[in-house]
Structure 1
Amino acid sequence: MMGPVLAACLLIILSTAWISQANEALCKKDGGVCSCNNNKNSVDCSSKRLTAIPSNIPADTKKLELDYNKLSSLLSKAFQSFTKLTFLSLNNNQLLTLPAGVFDELKNLETLWIQQNQLQTLPVGVFDHLVNLDKLYLYQNQLESLPQGIFDKLTKLTILWLNTNKLHSLPEGVFDKLTQLKTLQMTSNQLRSVPNRAFDSLSNIKTLWLQSNPWDCSCNDILYLSKWIREKEGTVNGIESATCVDNKAVLDITEKDAASDCVSPNTTTAIPTSTTTPASVIYDDIHEIKVPQENFQKFLGYQEPDHLPTQPQCLMSISGYLGLMMSLMLTSAAILYVFHFLKKA
């Protein structure tokens, strides 16, 4: 009598596999994509290959982990229901940017991780409603610049990590409101200098990492940083490791060393007219190109149909079709198996 039991189990397994979809599964007590700890109001959706945030995550969630997924974008209202969140982690995804207003309802958020994504820019005011934020991790992205006033509302921030980005400059007064900041990480960027008085408001700073930046110690705008490091040496950890492009310590730079008024790296230079190629020369070069006989159709306007599926799409369609056929075959076999044993019984 074990035959029908095994067949029934097979049917259950096939049915479960058939109806389950990773991005649509809910965080529920009876299982799903996300793991829930109801006692701690914690939801872990990490490493699930998600391309969208699962629906019906409990509204009273306080800790939400979405690490190691395939999130490439977020809706502007993605977190509007999670007003009780105190911890949000989006590490190791594929985010290129953040929509304006995406964090506006998270007024209780204390920790925000967005490390190891592909963020190239940040919207103006994207953090303005995070008035209780204590820790912000933005390292290992592709940020080249920061908007003016991007951190002005984060007056309770104590930890800020900006390292391993592509920052080539900082806006004036970018840290002026961060009077509670204790740790600032800025290693491995493209900073050549910092604005005058950039760190003067950091009255509680204990650790500041500045190494692995191409500090240009031939320009006189490095003098503020050099003087600030000397004054804080022994009270702020990490600052002594900042070195110039010639490996000389920034704190040792004098006015004699940094005597030049350097041109801003954003200044554009006109292209010399002597290097411009005349249009007639370009036309003549194009005119002389020999077109192979077999390519005449393309030059006469023939194009491949643009509606044909790409190779990955074909593979996905074939694999999906084969999976469907396999499931149907297994289901049919299981049903026949059940009928066979019932008939013999």
Structure 2
Amino acid sequence: MMGPVLAACLLIILSTAWISQANEALCKKDGGVCSCNNNKNSVDCSSKRLTAIPSNIPVDTTQLRLHQNSLSKLSPTAFHSLSKLTLLSLQGNKLQTLPAGVFDELKNLETLWIQQNQLQSLPIGVFDQLVNLNKLYLHENKLKSLPPGVFDHLTKLTILGLRNNQLRSVPNRAFDSLSSLSDITLNDNPWDCSCNDILYLAKWLATNLERHAGANCDQSSKAVLDITEKDAASDCVSPNTTTAIPTSTTTPASVIYDDIHEIKVPQENFQKFLGYQEPDHLPTQPQCLMSISGYLGLMMSLMLTSAAILYVFHFLKKA
């Protein structure tokens, strides 16, 4: 009687392995553009040469990776249906600006990567709704200025990357609300230490030595935190008051976002492809395309399972 028992155990083990493999398999979204992990609600659209964000990304997605693509602009409502996002990566694209309100629905977002783009300015209030943001990476852009109050609502922010931009100063009291901040990078910016609007930054750096990596004046190697009122005597015109994008003069969505470039898939095909069900269009099981290795593994599991079933029937027949 030990034979059937061992065969039954083998059958259970193989079935469990097959189910686990199916759940962990990479599935494809939007006709194969992105891959996802259903167990983690994670969608990966990175390194796909995308010029627009794929449509029909599941609304329960919590992690969305769009880095290393060719995105040059975003729709103002690009992420409005993805309110559960906690992580969004947009680094390594060609973004020159951000539309006002693009992040307004992402109140659960904790990590935002926008570094290595071509951003020259930011809309006023662009981060105001990101009340749970913990990490914000803006380094390696072309930012010439920051709008007033840009970080005022980011009270949970612990990491802020601003290095390698074109900043000459920051708005007065720019960092005062960042009580949780533990790390900020400001180096490799052309800080103008001859103008008195650098004094806020100098005093902030001097009293927050443990938080920052340091910043030097563009005209010399002198540290910004060592600048005094005598050094910065000139009353210069700050670019922060002239280059920020006001929210009241945004370009219409029809102009900034060309629907022709949007990747669309007929809804009925998308539902059939992913195994979506009405009314909420959420997948009941991963009915997705798998990689070649995953497919071969599945076939091997099925063959072993069939062999185990035949083995059980053989011993039961003898019994």
Displacement after TM superposition at 1:156 (Å): 0.3
The one of the two structures with greater contact order (alpha-carbon pairs below 8 A, sep at least 6) is 2
1:231-271 superposed Cα distances (whole Å, 9 cap, x missing partner): 1113x142xx2000111100000000000011345899xxx
Tell whether the 8 Å contact from 1:44 to 1:65 is kept in structure 2 after alignment: no
Change in CA separation of 1:177 and 1:42 when aligned onto 2, cut-off 3 Å: farther
Contact 2:145 2:239 in 1 (8 A): no
Asked if the contact 1:61/1:82 (under 8 Å) is kept, the reply is no
Identify which of 61, 74, 85 aligns with 2:53: 74
Computed over aligned residues only, the root mean square deviation of the Cα atoms, in angstroms, reads 2.7
- AA of the residue aligned to 2:70: Q
* Structure 2 length-normalised TM: 0.64
* 2:232 corresponding residue in structure 1: 258
**Counterpart position of 1:249:** 223
CA contact (8 A) 1:42 1:62 kept: no
Q: For residues 201-248 of structure 1, give each alpha carbon's deviation from its aligned partner in whole angstroms, at most 9, with x where no partner exists.
A: 0000000000000000000000000001111113x142xx20001111
Deviation per residue, 1:140-196 (Å, 9 max, x gap): 000000000000000000000000000000000000000000000000000000000
1:105 is paired with a residue whose SS is: coil
2:82 to 99, 103, 106: 106
Cα deviation, residue 70, structure 1 = 1.1
Counterpart of 2:186 (choices 206, 210, 217) is 210
- Percent identity of paired positions between Structure 1 and Structure 2: 49
Structure 2 partner of 1:306:
none
> Quick check: 1:39 aligned with 2:12?
no
Counterpart residue type for residue 156 of structure 1: N
Separation in structure 2 between the aligned mates of residue 229 and residue 176 of structure 1, nearest angstrom: 18
Alpha-carbon offset, residue 60 of structure 1: 8.6
How is 1:169-208 mapped onto 2 (pairs within 5 angstroms)?
169-208=145-184
Quote the offset at 1:41 in angstroms. Answer: 8.2
Contact 1:230 1:251 in 2 (8 A): yes
Could you say what secondary structure the match of 1:83 adopts? coil
- CA distance in 2 between counterparts of 1:67 and 1:225 reads 36
Q: Distance in 2 between matches of 1:143 and 1:212?
A: 16
Is 1:143 the counterpart of 2:116 in the alignment? no
- Inter-partner Cα distance in structure 2 for 1:37 and 1:124: 42
Q: Compared with structure 1, are the counterparts of its residues 70 and 198 closer, same or farther at alpha carbon in structure 2 (3 Å cutoff)?
A: same
Indicate conservation of the 8 Å contact 2:41/2:61, yes or no.
yes
Amino acid at match of 1:39: N
Q: Match of 1:229, SS?
A: helix
**1:89 paired residue among 60, 65, 70:** 65
Pairing partner for 2:104 from 110, 128, 137: 128
User: Aligned partners of 2:79, 2:100: CA distance in 1, in Å?
Assistant: 12
Which runs of no fewer than 5 residues in structure 2 stay unpaired?
1-19, 243-319
**In the TM superposition, what whole-angstrom CA distance separates every residue of 1:55-106 from its partner, at most 9, and x where no partner exists?**
997999710111111111236xx24x51110110011100001112110111
Secondary structure, in 3 states, of the residue corresponding to 2:207? helix
Q: Which residue of structure 2 aligns with residue 65 of structure 1?
A: 44
Report the CA distance shift for 1:172/1:37 in structure 2 as closer, same or farther (over 3 A).
farther
Give the Cα separation in 2 of the matches to 1:132 and 1:37. Answer: 30
**1:285-324 equivalences in 2 (<5 Å):** none
Matched, 1:219 2:189: no
Per-residue Cα deviation, 1:88-126 (whole angstroms, up to 9, x for no partner): 001110000111211011111100000000000111100
- Tell me which structure has the larger Cα radius of gyration: 1
1:167 equivalent in structure 2 = 143
Rounded to whole Å, the distance in 2 between the matches of 1:188 and 1:219 is 20
> SS at 2:23's partner residue?
coil
How many residues of Structure 1 are paired with residues of Structure 2 in the alignment?
222
The equivalent of 2:255 in structure 1 is none
Letter in 1 for 2:235: D
Q: TM-score, normalised by structure 1?
A: 0.60
Cα gap change, 1:123/1:43 in structure 2, threshold over 3 Å: closer, same or farther? farther
Q: Describe the shift of the 1:42–1:106 C-alpha distance in structure 2 as closer, same or farther (beyond 3 A).
A: farther
2:197 touches 2:238 (CA, 8 Å); kept in 1?
no
8 Å CA contact 1:42–1:63 kept in 2: the answer is no
Matched AA of 1:218: S
**Could you tell me how far apart the structure 2 residues matched to 1:117 and 1:214 are?**
23
Gaps of 5+ in 1: 1-35, 269-345
Distance apart, 1:53 and its partner CA: 6.7
Does the CA contact (< 8 Å) of 1:210 and 1:242 recur in 2?
yes
Evaluate the alpha carbon distance shift between residue 53 and residue 90 of structure 1 in structure 2; reply closer, same or farther with a 3 A threshold: farther
Which consecutive aligned stretches of 4+ in structure 1 deviate over 3 angstroms post-superposition? 40-45, 52-61, 264-268
